[in-house]
Structures are given as C-alpha cells and as structure tokens.
Structure 1
Amino acid sequence: MDDEAPLRKRRQATVRETKALAHPLRLRILRLCGQREMTNKQLADRLGRDPGTVLYHVRQLADAGFLEPAPVRTGERGALEKPYRATRKSWWLSNPMENLDAEARFAPVEAFQDELREAGPESVAAFDRFALHLSPEDIEILERRILAILDEYIETDDERLDQPLHGGILVLHRLAGGDAGEDDEVGGHGRTADPSPPPGEGSRGRRRDPPDGRYATRT
C-alpha cells in the first residue's frame, strides 16, 4: 500500500479557527460564500434565519479569517451592497475539529445533512457505503491517500468552472459494537461493501444532472 502520496502542506488550526468551524450554521454560510459572494441579507434569506443571527456568525467567520469582504457592489434596486466571500483556507487546516467536544465535532455532519435536504435526493451523483477493519495506521494512510486525490481536484478546480458544482463529505467512524474479534458481519475476509444501497440503485448509486452545490473544503 503506497503511503507516500504527496500533499500540499497543512497546518494546525488555531483555537479561534477551530471554534469558528464548530457550528453547522457557520459551515453553511462558509459553503454558500464559497459558491458566490453573498451579503448578510442574502445569506439570511437563503438559510431562513434572522439577519441578526446570521450577522453574528458571519463576524465569527470573518474574525477567524474564513470570510473576507468582497468589493462593494450596486444591488438590483440601486443600493450599495457589502458582500462576503470565502477565503477557502479551511481546506488546508489539519484536523480542525479534533480538539472540540463530541457535539461540536458533529457540526460538519449536521451542515451536510441540511445541504443535502435542500438539494434533494436527485442531487446525489455518487454514493458509497462500506465497512472495513482498520488500525490507526491504516486510517492515517487511507485519509492521506484520499486527501491526495481531493487536493489534486481542488487545486485544478478553476479549470472546470463550466461544469456543475458538487459537494460532499468524508466521514470515517468506528461502528458501535465493532471491536476487534466481534462478529460484525463484514465477511470472511474482514472487509466488504455494505450490502444496503439507496432504493433503486446498485452498491454504487449513480445519478445525473445534480444541481449546483460546490464547496471545496473538508468542513
């Protein structure tokens, strides 16, 4: 197994950066501002939240360096608007959620669930579910190899701006009751794809024409 896949250097997140990423609404804001420049009012309307609440979270992200003011522009009714855009630095942080409590670490999953519900089931372009026996070293190597592939696509994303936007999340978790030596029904060789695909799909579901929904960060 090749564990020497090259990666652009990542750095450890600061305390402020970690706290800024520890809320699902802030992660939704960050993704939306990664898709296009948006004002606080546009974010509030899109997310169905009070503008004051959204502004609080926008400021938390801006203070941590994840959002920055975009050039002032003229809105549809002639008024000046002050939009925000994502700096896209969160992708290059190393394990930014690892020092948070269990509930805060679940924020990316909650944000992803909200995004997927908004996009609808027909937005799903690929689906893979699996169970593997892995040592801590195996997990480190697996993540490093997956990130190497994602890094390549992220660094060349500007070459595909004419294509639909996609979002995704990679979550590897220890299964409940999955301690070594237990009968966890993963097959005689200790690894197999989960046998339960989405309704109407094979073990690797494929759908076409997803709606726009890109955001290139691990969060």
Structure 2
Amino acid sequence: MTSGQEPSNKVLIINEKQNKLLQSALRIKIMHALSKEAMTSKQVADLLRKTPGNVHYHIQRLYEGGLLELTDTRNVAGIVEKYYFATASQFHFPGSAEGEAWEKDDEAWTGGGSFSEYHATRLDLSEEEAVQFSEELKSLFDKWERNTVGGQEYGVTVRLGRIDEREGG
C-alpha cells in the first residue's frame, strides 16, 4: 500500500450530505477501491476503466465531504500526485428515510429487540448481471429458509430496481 494504511473495513456513521454523496454506483466503486489502498485519481480511473477527469471529479466531491482522506502528495516530474484513502468501506446513515420507515412501519419488525439492520447500496449492473444478482439473492434466501435451526423470527426485505438516470448519478 502506498500510504502504509491498513484496508478500511470499518463502518462510518455518516450525515445527510455524505449519504447523498454515496447515491452513485461509481462513487461506491471508488470508495471500495480506495478502502484497500491509497491511490491517485488516475490509478483509480485505470482500475475502474473510467475517464480520469470523471473519477477526479467524484474523488474531489468525496474528499470535500469527508469520506476520503489525503494520505500523501508527491511531486513526480513536475506533476503533483495526490493519494487518497477511504475513511471506511461501509456506512450507516441513522436518518435514512428507509431506516426510519423500517423502524416505524410495524412494531413487529423490531419486536422490542435490539437487532434490526438496514443495508443499502448502488450497483452498476448490466441486465444480465442484474438477473444473476437476483438469482443469487433467491438462492441465499432459500439456503437460509431451509437451513436455520430456530430462534427468533426476522423479516428480510431486498428491493432491486433500476435507478432513473436523472436521479442516480
């Protein structure tokens, strides 16, 4: 690793502004790439096969939002290389509308217990990958439906849908 950083797999509690910054599959990919090692915008662009200018723009927004840290700056042949590292690879937004709805929607979902989780992400999928992802989710549900030994009942809801390009970034 460039900066001597350990891979970031911690969960960061984020605010509304940061949550909005993460409403993009590309930005999530950037965060995952930079959670493994510090890299420049160009290195991330090459890794993700995206244009350097596009990736640089998104890295700047993530950095300004406090989701990336600048770990190193090097002057190479008159060019300043900036290395960024993700502050986390998983995020929790306590004020999410979906999370609030989960808790308020039906008392049966929390059952007065302490374990209730909400997970969300954005993925950049082809139609074929979306079908494959859906099939893998169904298989995972089937595995757990068949093989649990008992205990408390948990509800699990997953929604997979295409994001309108005007909304999704």
Scaled by the length of structure 1, the TM-score of the pair is 0.41
Bigger proportion of residues as helix: 2
1:1-219 to structure 2, matched below 5 A, reads 11=13, 13-73=14-74, 80-88=80-88, 91=90, 93-94=92-93, 98=97, 108-111=121-124, 129-131=140-142, 138-139=154-155, 172-173=157-158
* Superposed displacement of residue 130, structure 1: 1.2
**1:154-198: CA deviations, max 9, x gaps?**
xxxxxxxxxxxxxxxxx84269xxxxxxxxxxxxxxxxxxxxxxx
**What is the root-mean-square deviation of aligned Cα atoms in Å?**
4.0
Aligned counterpart, 2:112: none
Can you give the 5+ residue segments of structure 1 that lack an aligned partner in the other structure?
A: 1-8, 100-106, 118-127, 140-170, 176-219
Kindly indicate whether the alpha-carbon contact (under 8 Å) linking 2:16 and 2:93 is maintained by their aligned counterparts in 1: no
* Superposed displacement of residue 60, structure 1: 1.6
Kindly indicate whether the alpha-carbon contact (under 8 Å) linking 2:24 and 2:122 is maintained by their aligned counterparts in 1: no
> 1: distance between equivalents of 2:44 and 2:71?
14
Query: Identity of paired residues, percent?
Result: 32
SS at 2:123's partner residue?
helix
Can you give the 5+ residue segments of structure 2 that lack an aligned partner in the other structure?
A: 1-10, 99-119, 130-138, 146-152, 161-169
1:23–1:174 Cα change, 3 Å: closer
> 2: distance between equivalents of 1:81 and 1:25?
21
SS at 1:84's partner residue?
strand
